[in-house]
């Protein structure tokens, strides 16, 4: 482990919110507001993407497209995605606080890494306005990564590497000394 300079964690489902419940519930609830029922499996399908990208992928899923078309007489389009996303983001801010407790062992893991001189960074598909609700709850419980990079901080979220690169910059870590 002497070569490890930093570890980068994801937030929901990795260091908070065991089971990634907040994103799952929010996607189900926002579609329900549009009278389109989606399953837990559908909601979880694109997990890990930035939330707007997640929403776009959901709207492209054949089953959801069919339900939307049955409800509205047309397939979901770009404007529908924009409208849903506005509601989605505000819904996240309200719900995510209830799912911001650290996963058992996460606080101790970050403390152990720090003691060994290993820095901690983090990525999230949440945008900054959502993380503004998450971080204070997690910090009160002792979860404090040194770097937090949101999908809204970079040109693109996962699977693009930009959040990891930004963490490396924030933490000033590189695989070898120049």
Structure tokens at 166: 């930004």
Q: In the annotation, is 83 catalytic?
A: no
Question: How far is the C-alpha of 17 from the C-alpha of 24, rounded, in Å?
Answer: 11
> Which of 145, 149, 140 lies closest to 111 in space, CA to CA?
145
> Please, are residues 126 and 99 in contact by the beta-carbon 8 Å criterion?
no
Q: Which is catalytic among the residues 33, 35, 51, 66?
A: 51
Neighbour-count burial of 94, counting CB atoms closer than 10 A to its CB (0-12 exposed, 13-18 middle, 19+ buried): exposed
Q: In the annotation, is 10 catalytic?
A: yes
Q: Which is catalytic among the residues 10, 80, 101, 153?
A: 10
Residues with active-site annotation: 10, 51
């Amino acid at each position: 482990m002497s070569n490890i300079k930093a570890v980068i964690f994801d937030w929901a489902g990795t260091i908070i919110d065991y089971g990634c419940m907040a994103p799952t519930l929010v996607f189900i609830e926002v579609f329900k507001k549009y009278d389109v029922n989606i399953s837990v499996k559908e909601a979880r399908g694109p997990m890990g993407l930035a939330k707007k990208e997640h929403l776009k992928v959901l709207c492209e899923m054949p089953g959801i497209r069919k339900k939307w078309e049955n409800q509205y007489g047309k397939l979901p389009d770009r404007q529908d995605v924009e409208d849903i996303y506005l509601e989605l983001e505000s819904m996240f801010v309200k719900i995510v606080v209830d799912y911001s407790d650290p996963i058992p062992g996460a606080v101790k893991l970050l403390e152990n890494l720090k003691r060994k001189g290993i820095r901690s960074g983090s990525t999230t598909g949440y945008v900054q306005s959502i993380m503004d609700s998450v971080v204070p709850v997690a910090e009160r419980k002792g979860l404090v990564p040194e770097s937090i990079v949101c999908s809204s901080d970079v040109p693109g979220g996962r699977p693009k590497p930009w959040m990891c690169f930004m963490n490396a910059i924030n933490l000033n870590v590189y695989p070898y000394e120049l």
